[in-house]
Chain A
Amino acid sequence: MPLLELENLQKDYGGLRAVDDVSLAVAEGAIIGLIGPNGSGKSTLINLIAGSAELSAGRVIFAGEDISALAPDAVFQKGIARGYQEPSLYFKMTALDNVLLPVKGQRGEHPWYAPWRRYWQRDEIKHAEAAAAVLDQVQLRQRFDTLASDLSGGQMKLLEIARCLMGKPRLLLLDEPTAGVAPKLAYDIFRQIARLRDDYGITFLIVEHRLEILFDFADYVYVMHLGNLLAEGGVDEIASDATVREVYFGD
């Protein structure tokens, strides 16, 4: 059974159909690429899965459960975390606080308990150690005390992934994880992604414009065009697909 299944997803904005009858399946432990020209509906599709946009029709099935109607916070609790295309870190908070915030079920998050440190301090120490380990994985441990706004562009992207990891997701949705990052760093980011998949079995659905990098790491690729699913297949298949080349490169 696939980890994530989309059944005939549709999203209308007024008269515009941004996503039209898209069905796809994501196998557990895979790195799946989602590509297509600007405005083809990729980001909308991510928003539909994450619950931040409401479905016009269709169903989202995650781990055998229909999560179509869930709000974003409930989707996260189910085990789907997401990154954003635009900068989305908490820039006035430290790297450590950025990754600690999404930890699920923190006792100290309840205003009734929050002022009484001894109720949550032991948990907090445990979370801090876990956070240090996660920051270590993205080579940001030494910078735990740095404000997110003081990190480099590549580090920001890695911190965003680290922040998602603290929620212990089974599926990570990433919307252009290498946007605005130098090519070498972009490669590093994808290497990290592959390592997270290998070490923890996390599944990835990645919207990406840098095909040359994506194709080195993806197991399977879906191509969207004008809200429709245009093609799907392995990397080699997609890279040589004539229709894909036509809409994507205009040749």
Chain B
Amino acid sequence: MINIDIAATVVAVLTLFGIYSLMAISLNLEYGVAGVPNFGQALFVSIGAYVAGITYTRLLPILAGYESIHPCGPTMGAALQLRSEIMATQPVAGFINLALTMMIAALVAGAVGFALSYVTLRLKEEWFLALVLLVAGETVRILVRGADDFICSNNGISGVAQPFYFLRDPGASSFLFMLLALALALIAYLYSERLVRSPFGRMLKGLRENEEVTRGLGKGISLARAQIMLIGSAIAACGGVLFALNTGFVNTNDFVVNLTLDVWVMVVLGGIGNNRGAVLGALLIAVMDRFAQVGAIILNMGGSDIEFNYVRFIGFGLILLWMLRYRPGGLLPESRLTTDAHDVVGRLLGK
């Protein structure tokens, strides 16, 4: 048998939970609340990761007072060493770099989300938007994989260390990174809860329920859709930055369509239109991910030739189908609570 370090496992699962929560909250705002079927979730997450790949190799050395070394090709080793040294000795530069990375990632992804939703406006069916985003995700991934200038094409970028690396104590730095991920997830959760329980959230739900009628009731639906795509994409990109820091590595292979499907499973499982449900879905998938990994190791050690990754895909597919068939609202269906207006009218009626 293998030894499992329970504390480390819990930290790893909770870190993943925080990162997945950001992605699930993002999709829940877009699809669950506003009804925009974003099948390009991997694209927006990957934008965050690619931005991290670029800032950690170009911006970080400058922030730390060095000249940046081209991270790919013959200088790859020297650049990696410089990165690791800065992350180990200059925490302030590391934190400033992280903050800037988050901001740039959110801005770039937000702009892309906003623009893509406008580009696809002329398409009749909203599901075309889903297809455009799906294709855009793969296209960008393949372009980045082929281009040497972003993240060293196929090789990817390693040494994208998390900001507490300078502590030189893996246990403590992982724990603090977990807290960071959970804190960002909490902020995203509180923010989206407020967003949903506002007149803006009400308009988004109207957009989801009946686009034509909402337009007929005087709402500029194209702008509203672009706005929620901007917000959702920015949140997903922040998740992407953390995703890259968590693995310490940016590689295009992590951002295939499977990632999008994982996020969809989280939202459909947890509850479409309910932020709490999205977070619950993220937790369940993070736990299942870990079990799947451990299960795969145990199976391999037992000499089985089952490729466990595929078992995981089949499992997720079955969950999706079962939920859609028997509990289309998810484990935590959408709440009917909205603004305080219901309390106001309730009081008027003396209820």
Contact = CB atoms under 8 A, between A and B. Distances in A.
Interface of A: 50, 52, 71-73, 76-77, 81-82, 84, 88, 90-94, 96-97, 100-104, 106-111, 114-117, 120-121, 124-125, 127-129, 131-132, 135, 141-142, 144-145, 147, 163, 167
Query: B202, B219, B348 — which one has the most chain A CB atoms within 10 A of its CB?
Result: B202
A88 B200 CA distance: 20
Contacts of B276: none
Contacts of A132: 344-345, 348-349
A111 B215 contact: no
Contacts of A144: 342, 345-346, 349
B209 A92 contact: yes
Interface stretch (B7-15, B73-81, B164-172, B190-198): B190-198
12 contacts: A72-B215, A72-B216, A73-B220, A76-B216, A93-B202, A93-B209, A94-B338, A110-B200, A111-B228, A125-B340, A131-B341, A141-B345
B229 to A, nearest CB: 11
Contact of B344 (A81, A93, A107, A128): A128
B217 interface: yes
B341 A109 contact: no
Nearest to A93: B205
A102 B202 CA distance: 10
Interface in B98-144: none
B339 interface: yes
A115 B198 contact: yes
A84 B217 CA distance: 12
Interface of B: 191, 194-195, 198-203, 205-206, 209-210, 212-221, 227-228, 231, 334, 336, 338-342, 344-346, 348-349
Contacts of A128: 339-342, 344-345
B202 A101 contact: yes
A124 B216 contact: no
Given A72-B212, A73-B216, A115-B195, 14 more contacts: A88-B213, A90-B209, A92-B334, A107-B199, A109-B203, A109-B219, A114-B195, A125-B341, A127-B341, A128-B345, A131-B345, A132-B345, A144-B346, A145-B346
Contacts of A84: 213, 216
Contact of B217 (A76, A111, A127): A76
Contacts of B217: 73, 76, 81, 101-102, 163, 167
A101 B201 CA distance: 10
Nearest to B205: A93
Query: A114, A125, A132 — which one has the most chain B CB atoms within 10 A of its CB?
Result: A114
Contacts of B220: 73
A90 B200 contact: no
A168 B124 CA distance: 30
B198 A76 contact: no
Nearest to B212: A52
A73 B207 CA distance: 13
Given A90-B206, A106-B199, A108-B200, A124 B340 contact: yes
Contacts of B336: 92-94, 147
A73 B217 CA distance: 6
A109 to B, nearest CB: 5
Query: B195, B201, B339, B348 — which one has the most chain A CB atoms within 10 A of its CB?
Result: B339
A139 B217 CA distance: 22
Given A90-B205, A92-B205, A96-B345, A167 B340 contact: no
A76 B218 CA distance: 5
Q: Which 7 A-B pairs have the closest CB atoms?
A: A108-B199, A76-B218, A114-B200, A128-B341, A114-B198, A115-B194, A102-B217
B348 to A, nearest CB: 5
B35 to A, nearest CB: 11
Given A101-B203, A120-B198, A141-B349, A125 B344 contact: yes
A121 B231 CA distance: 22
B119 to A, nearest CB: 19
Query: B214, B216, B334 — which one has the most chain A CB atoms within 10 A of its CB?
Result: B216
A107 B348 CA distance: 23
A84 to B, nearest CB: 7
Contacts of A135: 345
B342 A94 contact: yes
Query: B203, B218, B339 — which one has the most chain A CB atoms within 10 A of its CB?
Result: B218
A93 B334 CA distance: 10
Given A50-B216, A144-B345, A111 B339 contact: no
Contacts of A117: 194, 198, 340
Nearest to A78: B218
Given A73-B220, A91-B209, A114 B345 contact: no
Contacts of A81: 216-217
A125 B339 CA distance: 10
Contacts of B218: 73, 76-77, 102, 104, 167
Given A93-B206, A114-B198, A121 B216 contact: no
Contact of B199 (A76, A88, A91, A100): A100
